[in-house]
Amino acid sequence: MCFAPYYHLVGKHEAQDRAAKLRQALLALSNVASKAQLGSSLASAQVAARRNLAAVETTSGEMESLNVKALELAQELLLADADEAEPLAAFLTRIVDHVAKAEATLKARLSAVRTATETLSIIVAHQRAADDLRVQIEARDADRRRVLAAFNHAERLRADVRRFSSTVSATRNAIVQRVFNDRLNTLWRDLFVRLAPSEDYVPAFRVPPENQARIVPSLETRHRSGSTGGTPGAMLSSANLNTAALTLFLALHLSVPPRLPWLILDDPVQSMDEVHIAHFAALLRTISKEHSRHIVIAVHDRPLFEYLSLELAPAYAGDELITIEISTSGKRQTRYSTRRHTFVPDTSITPLAA
């Protein structure tokens, strides 16, 4: 028994049936295609609307949050709250303007603070400079006071020096007038003439008038006739010049009261001949015996030593002469011998009885 054709027929009828159903369904779909398309567009619109609603809700939330924050900011800024009629944008604009004004005020204050800081720094620097200058001024004042004190001290010293100089000048002038006077010239003349009797020119002092500030005596020579000559160095020989110096020394000694009645002479007979030496020895004897002077004389010549020892020998009781002879040995050792001469009466002459 063969069943194949039967199954084949059955499948064909089902396919046809399905095709008919499909044609019907396609016709039905074609009838609802516009509605489906409209439904699709509506669904898309719904999705877009939901999206827009979500965006509006998000924006509304943000606006609500922005409004709350704007109110909080207004409270922080001490700004009046917005009324119901004022839009948020205007309120925010007012806040921005207020913040801008506050920012400008703060910038002005900050600039003022910066300027004040800079000015304060300058003032502090000037204050420090002023302190340094004040310290320097105090140091200069101390220096000025010290210099002024030194200057005043110097002025006092100068005044003392001027007084001292004036006193010295007055004392000197008084001494010059008292010593270098006609009495000294007379005494010097007598002594010089006694030692050099043949000299025509006699040395003397010329004292200027008393009205001069500084009296300085000068040397001159005077002729025995009374005329004036040149200086002693120009008019006298070397021997008489030495005699003039020696007699001036003796005249100065005899013209004032002596503090010590001593005369110390070191080899005073240089350039003197025998006549001058004899006159000089007689002069020393007169000064020693009549003016009570202790004479110390040193000579280098042995005959002169013996001659002066003879001329200055004691002439009366209580008078004495001490001679000291100093010599050098071959070993360069200094030796000296001292001899004291006392007065011994001359027994070779017997006085006549009365």
- Note the pLDDT tens digit of each residue in 74-89: 666 666 665 555 676 7
pLDDT in tens, 216-253: 677 888 887 778 888 888 888 877 888 888 888 888 88
Is there a domain that residue 51 lies in?
no
Q: Choose one of 178, 195, 212: the last residue of a domain.
A: 178
Residues 262 and 340 in one domain: yes
DSSP H stretches of helix in the chain = 4-76, 88-179, 182-195, 232-235, 238-255, 274-290, 302-311
Residues 271 and 207 in one domain: no
Is there a domain that residue 334 lies in?
yes
Is there a domain that residue 171 lies in?
yes
Residues 85 and 186 in one domain: no
Q: What is the pLDDT of residue 2?
A: 46
**Mean predicted confidence (pLDDT) in 310-334:** 83
Residues 158 and 218 in one domain: no
Is there a domain that residue 185 lies in?
yes
Helix 88-179 × helix 4-76 angle, to 10°? 40
Residues 228 and 315 in one domain: no
**Contact (Cβ atoms closer than 8 angstroms) between residue 186 and residue 248:** no
Is there a domain that residue 287 lies in?
yes
Instruction: Enter the pTM of the model.
Output: 0.47
Is there a domain that residue 28 lies in?
no
Tokens of 249: 């020394």
Q: 209: which DSSP letter?
A: P
Residues 90 and 163 in one domain: yes
Residues 217 and 140 in one domain: no
Quote the domain boundaries for residue 98.
57-178
Distance from C-alpha of 58 to C-alpha of 64, rounded to nearest angstrom? 10
Is there a domain that residue 246 lies in?
no
Is there a domain that residue 9 lies in?
no
**Contact (Cβ atoms closer than 8 angstroms) between residue 32 and residue 25:** no
**Contact (Cβ atoms closer than 8 angstroms) between residue 265 and residue 247:** no
Residues 70 and 124 in one domain: yes
The domain tally of the chain equals 3
